[in-house]
A and B are shown apart, each in its own frame.
Chain A
Amino acid sequence: MLNTILFILLWVAAIAFFSWSVKKIRRNIKLGKDIEIKDNRKKRWGLVAKVAVGQSKMFGLPISGILHLFVYAGFILVNIEMLEVMIDGVAGTHRALADVFGFLYPIAISSFEFFALLVIIGCIVFLIRRNILRVNRFWKPEMKWWPRLDANIILITEVVLMTSIFFMNASDYILQTRGTEHYKEVGSFFFSSFFVPMLQNLPTETLLVIERVCWWLHIIGIMLFLNYIPYSKHFHVFLSFVNVFYSKLDPAGKLENMPSITKEVKSMLSGEEPPMEEEGEEVSFGASDVKQLTWKLLMDSYTCTECGRCSKVCPANITGKKLSPRKLIMDVRDRLELTGKNIDKHGKDFGDDKSLFNYITAEELWACTTCNACTESCPVNIDHVSLILELRRYIVMEQAASPGELNAIFNNIENNGAPWQFSQDDRMLWADELYIKEK
């Protein structure tokens, strides 16, 4: 009875705190510029199935792709077992589903154990790759202590959660064979049976403790993990599905239009007065801070799991430039988190006279070739190029601070219709003295 109350109370608390955290993130994302993404729902669901659920882009790097599949599929399937845990926890029963499923039950549990094993293998290899092999993309400058620790916390937690299942099941089985009260005979489970010899000589009391501790460790571990996720890069386990749904559907080469400028340019070309700005309408060209970015770009930052595939393929990053697409996305998230905290503390109109440019330098932004290798490689369809473009637009149009060489190009295009300083009248010179062999 006491256990049941404790169990229910813990879950209520865990879910309440989780909802509170998620609401914060949702509020932060909604600080972004409002845009409507409602087109092509069919295509979007297709993308969710392929890219998010089907993990299609993960296999660009086959080893990480397969290991990630172990952890992803394993973790989801293992947690089907949570259903029984919930029933047992609330009803005070033990392995309530064993009677329902009969001889299938040990098979089901054994297969969950198989998936748990996959998760453990995946996580351990990941830990080795990060900490011992030191795979380059996990040791770039933006991977400071917290991103590295964050990743390790996640991986170790998953190993602990999964290992507890094996010890729980193994001790459970031994208790069954000893006819211990409450531990009805449901049979042995394939993978945990390998742990049986290790525990076999322990007294019943100790086994009872192990079984119960592992059970609670698993439950409380999952509750804690759930509440850790919103404060971690691990939030991708939820947001990647949503973020992929809201993917850019246009060809990667197309950049976002700015209708506000279209109005101005049209009036300039037709020689009319530019339209008056509507009262209260704050027009900024490009973005200097998170509130001027679209909510989708802000969602991108919360979806990023810092895998670094973008930076691994970025031509600028490969050749030692400061630009790292992953860092930019992490910067947006850091800035957005701080903006959110400031709102919590000082109210919604608070400004801290900082901007994204306190995080991101012009040097990083100008190194981008807009080649879209980053967006192509991102497993959750983050749009780094749009972010870079918005910041460039601000530098050029609001600050008039573009690099001198680019200013010269702009002048040339404006004055003679080409980035080079050639007269537009010379645009046909290439065709001079052009001959073809008659056959």
Chain B
Amino acid sequence: MAKRIEASNVSSYYGSFKAIDSVSMTVEPKTITALIGPSGCGKSTFLRSINRMHEVLPGARIEGRLTIDDQNIYDPDVDVTAVRRMIGMVFQRPNPFPTMSIYENAVAGLKLNGVKKKSLLDDAAEKSLRSANLWDEVKDRLDRPGAGLSGGQQQRLCIARTIAVEPQVVLMDEPCSALDPISTLAIEDLMFKLKDRFTIIIVTHNMQQAARVSDKTGFFSIEKTGDPGRLIEYDDTQKIFSNPTQKKTEDYITGRFG
């Protein structure tokens, strides 16, 4: 089910400001791809372009082609909600819906998209919470508010919520930056588990994390403030972290820059 993503010459704008400049990369199905780079280099913007979340902000637009299994998601006749159902997203800060319980949060995507049958929802809730390694911790208090969980649990709840709608691609925007090392490890384990079913792209500032979890790594960078971000190097993670082609990548990875 997992899908291949192909970006060719994708440029994203905020109004007249160009945030990323013609990024091209291919992400194979059932892999984990890490995007690294200094703050403000456009990796989150690129990630948000993949499920058309970029255009939620006023004035934001995009140029270039972005295809999921050879369908351009920026074609004018594409239904944006269908794209987002296919490409789920986990955000930097856990954002469970505050008015919903743990159970309701887990199946929010299904319920809000019109699934009504209780048995289906119950199954999906358990399945997704189990996939997110959260079931054992919350199974006795599914009716408690989702916002009452700890930060790491909330983030896993958000992952459960995302995979409950059975997307083909999961985007993660620094999912562990607000979490402690134990919760981070839990989420990394989870990513390995999810790799069998989904294509995963993760933005991270933690290079050990990128090296640990990903198959491929893309390094983004900017020349100076105000310039658009560019994809400097994109290769196997092993290669990026041991023997990068670009001087810039090496500098960043060894900590001499950024």
Do A and B make up one complex? no
Binding site for B on A (CB under 8 A): none
